[in-house]
Amino acid sequence: MAISSILGYPRIGVDREWKKSLEAFWAGKIDEETFQRQQQEIRLNHLRKQQAKGIELIPVNDFSNYDHMLDTAVMLGIVPKRFGYEGGVVPLSVYFGIARGTKEATASEMTKWFNTNYHYIVPELGDALPTLTENRPLLAYREAKEKLGIEGKPVIVGPLTFLKLSKGYAANETDAWLERLLPLYAQMVRELADEGVKWVQIDEPIVVTKLSDEDAARLKLIYTTLTEAAPSLNIMLQTYFEAVENYRDIVSLPVKGIGLDLVHGLDGNLAAIREYGFPADKVLGAGVIDGRSIWRADLNEKLALLDELRGIVPEERLIVQSSCSLLHVPVSTERETKLPAELKGALAFADEKLDELVLLTKAVSQTADAVREQLNAADKALGLLKNSAARNRRDVQESVTAIAKQEPGRSKPFESRYSAQQHKWQLPLFPTTTIGSFPQTAEVRKARQLWRKGEWTNEQYNAFIREQIDTWVKLQEEIGIDVFVHGEFERTDMVEFFGEKLEGFAFTQNGWVQSYGSRCVKPPVIYGDVAFHEAMTVPETVYAQSRTNRPVKGMLTGPITIMNWSFVRDDIPREQVAYQLAYALRQEVEALEQAGIGMIQVDEPAVREGLPLKEADQADYLAWAVKAFKIATSTVQDTTQIHTHMCYCEFHDMIDSIEAMDADVISIETSRSHGELIYSFEENTYKLGIGLGVYDIHSPRVPDVEEMTGMIDRALRVLDPKLFWINPDCGLKTRGREETVASLRNMVEAARNAREKYSLALK
């Protein structure tokens, strides 16, 4: 009989109790013993839920106190020297220091986990001497068995994926590092086997990307070694997010199971199974339920797929599972009481996906008739949403179809616009600015809460927002910043704010997902056709501009970021959704310009994370992503300066596309990965305005002037000083007022020093 499983469960808890425990510990409100006790109870509750739902192969060690890549690094003793680690089990103080930084040491780099909105901490191999500090998968297995009687499936980040996603070593050192790490992995699985563990899930999502012949050989070496180290252990080599490359090589590896994504990698993986079959000595982990989507599955369609697979793989060698970890979706729809009925019925969060998996497994092991009532209910729910008015707006569809046929672009090239803008704005060399948001204090959050509850009138709330704007306009004046922002005090989130003001969006009450560390976001749901309703940002921006003679940037979130940071309808191509968003934002850009705002920032931090993992699909995505940005921004006057911002991504493979967006100024996060991005610009000339973030806003430390000056000097080795801007690496929403002001003062001083140093050379 087939069995059910998932690849991982959300960490945060139904009430975000995980986040609250973390932040209480960081704030010193609870001690380490209390923190560890709270985290264990959260962990066990997640296991209890899966057990009660009927999941048969339950993952353990998928839980983390911050991030699973960081967990793997510290388990292997890979800790940067600057944190003073002296061996043994890594203390929590060091663990969180790597993630968040300390007063003495900068945090490790953070970047996107493949093409998701989850961020992982990048391991720094450097001159580390790896050792197995503790067998975390074994400890998690014991905990589940002893506390709950669960025969768990330990989850481990695979050696090749770990290496490929780490930094601090040259390509020609890969094999040397593998030689250091592989014995530790072998020890890990041997200890699991000795404990009586039946299945272990070793995640190798890197195999869905393009691998070299050398990497293929490394995979064979890895899994031969691990199988020989623990011959009684069933290793599930787990892949996800796309179809595997080199299918025949992957399924021939000496493991007991292969997990395939049959949602996002359906076409490629299914075609390979049809052509080459599946090994008779292996179990197939069939990832049929989408671990990244909030939409209810078409269960009849999934059953048809499973029936086809059963014709190739006997059901006793079939595990019905999620396509990836459920880390990427909210916990439960149970408390969503305010959504439109046609939308609520079509949703499936993590807990509902557990139900879907159990249902499908029952249908496979028995018959579809055994679950016919549930199948019919799913069909009806999906049909109601498909036929809703929200998904059938002819006015939007016709307008966007017409715009999509055009090739958007500014009326004049950058060089002409640059001259006109310099004449208008008279900015100094190395203009200083910030990315958009200023600290959202407890006072700001409380005011918003009072307003949302109806305890404050619109007039009271708007007066409060204006007071905050007044405060920070004055502070920007005192600090000496050249181009201001209004601070975004009225915004809970850079995507949610716009979604609330556009048609076609819905908002959950508890649809939280982890973005990085304790940072949780509640993505909007794009469930219908997107349409502009009325101006969204004009009042606050115009008010801020009225309080100063310095230019104030209008602040918008771009179409691709809104799309990639939302849960998106899956009934039309994402390209079409992007164009609908772009058309709506164009109308906001035009409203700002008409209101006298001559600098407008349209942020696109999420362009890179949406890049398809398959090289063959990347050019098409980048083409329509660039087109969407230009649809939104290209109708303005030559003197209107368009800014954009990107962060926490690898940009070296899309510099050309960034330039094609034709923004007058782009700011890019580089403080955690400054050298890598500088290298990209050494290899690729960039001829538009650019600011490389000169300090990390995600760390509480205040960087000194000398540190920022060093970053400026490095950037100016490869960038035109006349086009260079100076800014933090991201918005300042999460920082405190004192540290923000201190950091910005240092930034402005570093800019002044740079002007003195470089102005003579440029004359």
Has residue 593 been placed in a domain? no
CA distance 417 to 367: 67
521 in a structural domain: no
Confidence of residue 673 (pLDDT cuts 50, 70, 90): low
> For the residues 93-109, what does the mean pLDDT come to?
94
Q: What is the pLDDT of residue 656?
A: 87
Q: What is the mean pLDDT of the chain?
A: 94
Q: Is 228 annotated as a binding residue?
A: no
Which element (helix H / strand E) includes 505?
Answer: strand 502-506
Q: DSSP character for 562?
A: H
Token pair for 492:
């809970």
What is the pLDDT confidence band of residue 762, given thresholds at 50, 70 and 90?
A: low
Determine what percent of the chain is predicted with pLDDT higher than 70. Answer: 97
What gap in Å lies between CA 560 and CA 359, rounded to an integer?
Answer: 35
* 619 phi, psi to nearest 5 deg: -60, -40
List 386's β-bridge partners, or say none: none
How confident is the model over 198-218, as pLDDT tens digits?
Answer: 999 999 999 999 999 999 999
Strand partners, 259: 238, 285
pLDDT at 61: 98
Q: What are phi and psi of 540, to 5 degrees?
A: -65, -40
Torsion of CA 411, 416, 421, 424, to 10 degrees: -100
CATH number at residue 196: 3.20.20.210
With CA atoms as reference, report the closest residue to 526 among 502, 506, 512: 506
Q: Are 435 and 727 in contact (CB under 8 A)?
A: yes
Domain count, the chain: 1
Residue 687 lies in a domain: no
Instruction: Give mean pLDDT, residues 322-333.
Output: 98
The pLDDT assigned to 274 comes to: 97
Is 200 a member of any domain?
yes
For residue 472, say whether it is annotated as part of any ligand binding site. Answer: no
Check pLDDT > 80 for residue 681.
no
53 pLDDT exceeds 60? Answer: yes
Q: Is residue 683 part of a domain?
A: no
pLDDT per position as a tens digit, 349-394? 999 999 999 999 999 988 878 788 888 999 999 999 999 999 999 9
Q: What is the DSSP string of 34-99?
A: HHHHHHHHHHHHHHHHHHHHT-SB-EES---SS-HHHHHHHHTT---GGG---SSSPPHHHHHHHH
Cα distance between the two ends of the chain: 79
**Burial of 395: CB neighbours in 10 Å, binned 0-12, 13-18, 19+:** exposed
pLDDT in tens, 686-724: 889 998 888 877 777 888 999 999 889 988 988 899 999
For residues 403 and 631, the answer to whether their CB atoms sit within 8 Å is: yes
Q: Is 520 marked within a binding site? A: yes
Asked if residue 16 belongs to a domain, the reply is yes
Residue 364 maps to a domain: no
Pairwise CA distance, residues 14 & 511, whole Å: 9
What percent of the chain has a predicted confidence (pLDDT) above 90? 86
17 is in an annotated binding site: yes
Cα separation, 469 vs 475, whole angstroms: 10
Identify whether 698 is a catalytic site residue: yes
Q: Please state at what angle helix 213-229 crosses helix 174-195, rounded to 10 degrees.
A: 30
Contact 245, 213 (CB under 8 A): no
Average pLDDT of the residues in 99-125: 93
**pLDDT greater than 60 at residue 617:** yes
In a domain, 542, yes or no: no
730 is in an annotated binding site: yes
Comparing 165-174, 557-566, 601-610, 646-655, the range with the smallest average pLDDT is 646-655
- Confidence bin at 674 (pLDDT 50/70/90): low
pTM recorded for the entire structure: 0.90
* Residue 619: alpha-carbon gap to chain centroid: 21
**Residue 621 pLDDT:** 96
Please tell me the distance from the alpha carbon of residue 302 to that of residue 300, in angstroms, as a whole number. Answer: 5
Q: Tokens in use for 228?
A: 């020989």
Q: Which string of b and e fits 369-391 if b means at least 16 CB within 10 Å? A: eebeebbeebeebbeebeebebb
Mean pLDDT of 260-287: 98
493 annotated as a binding-site residue: no
Residue 435 assigned as binding residue: yes
In DSSP notation, 568-613 reads E-SSS-HHHHHHHHHHHHHHHHHHHHHTT--EEEEE-TTTGGGS-S
User: Beta strands of 290-431 (E only): which ranges?
Assistant: 318-322
> How much is the average pLDDT of 69-88?
96
**Distance in angstroms (rounded) separating the CA atoms of residues 433 and 746:** 13
Query: What range does the domain containing 105 cover?
Result: 3-279
- Report pLDDT for 732: 87
User: For residue 465, is it left (φ>0), alpha (ψ between -120 and 50) or beta?
Assistant: alpha
Given a cut of 70, whether residue 530 has pLDDT beyond it is yes
- Among the listed residues 68, 486, 643, 698, the single catalytic one is 698
pLDDT higher than 60, residue 522: yes
